[in-house]
Amino acid sequence: MNPIIKNMTQHVSVRDFKDETLSQETKNELLLAAQSGSTSNFVQAFSIIEITDKTLRNELADITVSSPHVKKADTFYVFVADLHRQATILEKHHQSLDSLKNMESLFVSTIDTTIAAENMAIAAESMGLGICFVGSIRNNIQQVADLLQLPELTVPLFGMTIGVPGIKNAPKPRMPKKNYVSKNAYDADSFNDLSEYDTTIKEYYANRETRKQDATWSDKNLDFFKEIHRPDVAEFVKNQGFTLE
């Protein structure tokens, strides 16, 4: 296994950062890595907003609730799925924006943005930095859009904290191959045969250093999805101009 892949297999989300500052050169490399990935039809449908203002950072951290590292991390980026550039170009030429508003275009911009973010994550980890995706900005996605003054056809998908890692957990065991890889057709029987993996996760939670618990992977999912999360996201997306059609 080469060092790049080895590095990827060591990934853990880091939520505890040392009080060290990233240089502008480091940030420039992260931003370059982010924009170097694949992009559907070269549309580059994402923007990245760095949150350097303390007040704004705290307001965003309060929205995330469970993510105090948003306040403390040296660097915090918000990743925005973004078709506003295309809207501006089309409007300038008196063209309809309908092609930007459908579900297909929302997928394109979501996928482009996530590719960019994961590139940044791997680049950061390759420098020994730690990262955490912060999906919890979607706890109040409208407020995030207001705070960042997002125009139509943009969606703030997630944030990313980046810094020099303090406490770093061991990687969590992922699903066995039989639970997520199949050949030529979806293999529901194999994917849903989670007993082996449930045992692995139960042992992992029972034996890890901190926040020990008694739960399988199935238990955790059952518990998590017992309630509906972020029911306002669809309405927000529609307010931004996407028709979800």
The pair of three-digit structure tokens given for residue 38, joined into one six-digit string: 């694949």
Question: Which of positions 175-204 make contact with a copy of itself (CB under 8 A)?
Answer: 175, 177, 179-186, 188, 191-192, 194
The yes or no reply on residue 213 touching a copy of itself (CB under 8 A) is no
The yes or no reply on residue 31 touching a copy of itself (CB under 8 A) is yes
The yes or no reply on residue 2 touching a copy of itself (CB under 8 A) is yes
List the one residue out of 143, 148, 145, 107 whose CA is nearest residue 240. 145
Q: How would you class 157 by CB atoms within 10 Å of its CB: exposed for 0-12, middle for 13-18, buried for 19 or more? A: buried
User: For the chain, how many residues are written?
Assistant: 245
**Least distance to a copy of itself, CB of residue 19, Å:** 21
Question: Which of positions 99-128 make contact with a copy of itself (CB under 8 A)?
Answer: 99-100, 102-105, 107-108, 110-111, 114-115, 117-119, 121-123, 126-127
The pair of three-digit structure tokens given for residue 230, joined into one six-digit string: 């972020």
The dihedrals phi and psi of 127, each to the nearest 5 degrees, come to -95, 5
The pair of three-digit structure tokens given for residue 202, joined into one six-digit string: 């139960």
The yes or no reply on residue 209 touching a copy of itself (CB under 8 A) is no
Half-sphere exposure of 178 (CA within 13 A, CB side): 8
Question: Which of positions 135-164 make contact with a copy of itself (CB under 8 A)?
Answer: 135, 138, 147-151, 154, 157-158
Binds a copy of itself by CB under 8 A, chosen from 15, 17, 22, 48: 48
Q: What is the DSSP letter of 165?
A: B
Binds a copy of itself by CB under 8 A, chosen from 13, 142, 143, 169: 13
The yes or no reply on residue 240 touching a copy of itself (CB under 8 A) is no
